[in-house]
Amino acid sequence: MRTRQAAVLSRDELLLARRLADYARRAPVAVMLSALSAMIVWNLAPSGALAAWHMLSAAWLLIVGAVSGARIWQARRIDALTIDFGYISRQAQMAEWLAYGDALCWAGCLSLIGSVLDYPARVTVCILLIGMLTTSAITLRSMPRVGISLTVAFVAGGVMATVLSGPVSDFVNIPIMTLYAAVVMYCFRADAAVYEARFHAEFEVHESAETIQLLLHDYEAQSADWLWRVDHAGCLVGVCDRFGEAAALPPPEIEGKELVSLFRPGPAREHLSHRLLRREPFRDLTIELADTADESIGGRWWMLSASPREDGTIRGVARDVTAARRTEQRVAYMAHHDGLTGLANRFLFGETLAGQLARQRRSDQCALLYLDLDHFKTINDTLGHSCGDLLLTEAARRITSKVKGHDLVSRLGGDEFAVLLTRFRDTEEALAVAERIVEAICEPFRIEGQKLNISTSVGVAFFSGTGGNSDDLLRQADLALYAAKARGRGCFARFEPWMEDRERERAALESDLRSAIREGQFALHFQPLVKIDSGEVAGFEALVRWDHPTLGVVMPGEFIPIAEDTGLIVPLGEWILRNAIMQAATWREGLRVAINLSPIQLRSPRLMSQLVTAIAHTGIDPGRIELEITENVLMQESEANVALLHKLRELGVRISLDDFGTGYSSLNYLRSFPFDKIKIDKCFVADLEQREDCQAIIRAVTSLAGTLGMDTVAEGVERKEQLDWLRQAGCTEVQGYYISYPFNIEELSDGRPLDSEREHWRSAIRHLPSAA
């Protein structure tokens, strides 16, 4: 269907244009056959005819030749592609009139010449007429009136020739000729009807195709999708502008290229090639383009769907899914990586570790480094979470810089990190990595203009061979981490089998501790606090002991950390507080009782009520109660804790700062709250005879405390030399084994031992100025 004519002409006008075009293409054959038949008929004329008859025959031949020539000339000049319907109509009428003229000539010829021909000549003429009718039926089917007019002419000439020349017996041929003429004309009309129906069907198909094409063009213009088509060889054909725009290439450049050549090699491209080769339909195949201009922003991705067609092509639709793909990749990245540091998260680390252990062969080995930042929570709470985040980010960078590119570094959460080493020669190389990480973290950090010093503790666990379990390896590395912390932090420790035994013992001790609190298996011991100038006992520090039914006496260093980790310190601390105050109420006036408070206890909402109840129940002077807290209390939720300390002070209770100098920003804490006493940690007292820095710290503390109106007590005094030096330094009180070991309740009365063997205490006290 010609596009220009279809856009201008109506359906009926298009039908006439189609008829005229077919006539112009096929009419010359029928016309030349007509002229040739005329020459044959002219030669069949009897030689004995009159000269006038011969002249008439020659004139007929010339007329037929002229008409045939005119018909051929007119057919060749017809413009079949014109959109001028007036021209089309005129040419169709001219073609019909010329055909009528040719038919009239044949009718006259058959009437005159047929009457004088002999029988063989008539047979020849009949053969020629049958040939002409057959040719007309084939070549002139587009214009049935031309074929019908020729049929009518042949029959009319035959009837006239029969009437003029034949005997009466030949008249029987007239009905036969008429019947066959009617049949031939019916066939012309029926064939014309089929021709017209076919045209209308093609016209409707064309209209539907145009509608579909318009819809497809509109779809491509409005939608994010575009259409594509490949031939039997998988090469693109009919590339549209939308496809070229999406591929960032001109359509002529893409035309004829293999579709698979546009995409990056990989499993998806192989799948596409397989489907095209086997002509199989597929849906939603996501594939990456090969010609990404900027690799830094990631590739471009298309989603293809297609199905084969009967003509050998494969047609499909494509969509750019780059944005969705990048979103999916981002979501997948976020699901497997830490948002702050960019390291692998716990999930990805667990998957990788499990995969490594599953793939390991008998000769393979791997190492797991488990580490956290020492005292990170203190910095995070003191300087703020933004500072803590920057510290974690820098720590992650330092850790990553100390391992190889194929090793996996992960942030498991908080300040916990893990490193998986898979390619190392021996255990010493893996331990060297742990040492490099410790050294890197110990280097000062510069965060928001502040210089921060922290350390890290690293636990190292190894696994060789097959059949490893990731949970077991993580637990072993965790135990090694605890061992590193027990060694003083800022170091690494390798897992040893005894650590598991120790962990089992700790778990058993935790279970027993819960039972001990319920059954009251604890006892209080008291260690004297002695005034260094007068030698008088100022009070006692309450120390708890666990009377284990099978292990015997368990010291606080064994079970207090467990109680703090499990939260059991709250009920245990309440028991200590209640019983220590109850015992102190039986002492003579003036003696104080010092009770240690855990940071967890201080956060307990029952602390104030428990203290008020104990004071009210015993009637003790609140000034005789001295609560000892560590610097960690002020580092954690400092504003709330300082407010609670002021409430305790309003109650009349004394507040002492324990282990002074072992934490951070101690001077700031002295400014934030007016403590009654500062306790100098025993780590400074232990080496004061040999280390001048310890002496300088103690002098600074005693001087500072004196200026602020606070007492000082030095704990851990175990030698006479230490006592003498502390007296000269201006320390207010002392405490330690050189003065006295802790005693239980039964050994105390009025602040002195009840047994007759007092010499081990008095021998120490006699070194004090007031000792008798």
Three-state secondary structure along 132-176? Answer: HHHHHHHHCCCCHHHHHHHHHHHHHHHHHHHHHHCCHHHHHHHHH
- 47, pLDDT greater than 70: no
Is pLDDT larger for residue 177 or for residue 448? 448
Which pLDDT value is given to residue 768? 46
Q: Which domains does the chain have, with CATH numbers?
A: 3-203 (no CATH), 223-326 (3.30.450.20), 337-495 (3.30.70.270), 516-678+733-765 (3.20.20.450)
Q: Reduced to 3 states, what is the DSSP secondary structure of residue 317?
A: strand
Q: Which of 364, 564, 318 is nearest to 467 (CA)?
A: 364
- 409, pLDDT greater than 60: yes
- Of the listed ranges 20-34, 203-217, 461-475, 616-630, the least confidently predicted one is 203-217
Is pLDDT larger for residue 180 or for residue 627? 627
- The mean of the pLDDT values for the chain is 80
Let me know how long the chain is.
Answer: 772
Is pLDDT larger for residue 324 or for residue 21? 324
Q: What share of the chain is helix, strand, coil (3-state, %, to 5)?
A: 60, 20, 25
Highest mean pLDDT among 238-252, 262-276, 325-339: 262-276
- 766, pLDDT greater than 50: no
- Report how far residue 391's alpha carbon sits from residue 383's, in angstroms, rounded to the nearest whole number: 11
Give the mean model confidence (pLDDT) for residues 719-737.
91
- For the chain, give the percent of residues with pLDDT over 90: 22
- 111, pLDDT greater than 90: no
Q: What is the pLDDT of residues 522-563, one digit of tens each?
A: 999 999 999 998 888 999 999 999 998 888 888 888 888 888
Q: What is the pLDDT of residues 331-342, one digit of tens each?
A: 888 888 898 999
Highest mean pLDDT among 39-43, 297-301, 729-733: 729-733
- 757, pLDDT greater than 50: no
- 301, pLDDT greater than 60: yes
Q: What is the pLDDT of residues 661-690, one digit of tens each?
A: 665 545 666 667 788 898 988 888 988 888
Q: What is the pLDDT of residues 303-357, one digit of tens each?
A: 899 888 888 889 888 888 888 888 888 888 888 889 899 999 999 999 999 988 8
Is pLDDT larger for residue 597 or for residue 92? 597
Give the mean model confidence (pLDDT) for residues 47-67.
67
Which pLDDT value is given to residue 4? 61
Q: How many CB atoms lie within 10 A of CB 750?
A: 10
Is pLDDT larger for residue 290 or for residue 88? 290
| 760's tokens | 């081990």
Write the DSSP assignment of 520-580 as a string of letters.
T-EEEEEEEEEETTT--EEEEEEEEEEEETTTEEE-HHHHHHHHHHHTTHHHHHHHHHHHH
Which pLDDT value is given to residue 128? 67
Which pLDDT value is given to residue 527? 92
Give the model's confidence band at 772: pLDDT under 50 very low, under 70 low, under 90 confident, else very high: very low
Which pLDDT value is given to residue 542? 94
Q: What is the pLDDT of residues 594-604, one digit of tens each?
A: 999 988 888 88
Which pLDDT value is given to residue 756? 38
195-231 in b/e form (b: 16+ CB < 10 A) is beeebeeebeeeeeeeeeeeeeeeebeeeebbbbbbe
- Report how far residue 172's alpha carbon sits from residue 607's, in angstroms, rounded to the nearest whole number: 139
Which pLDDT value is given to residue 535? 85
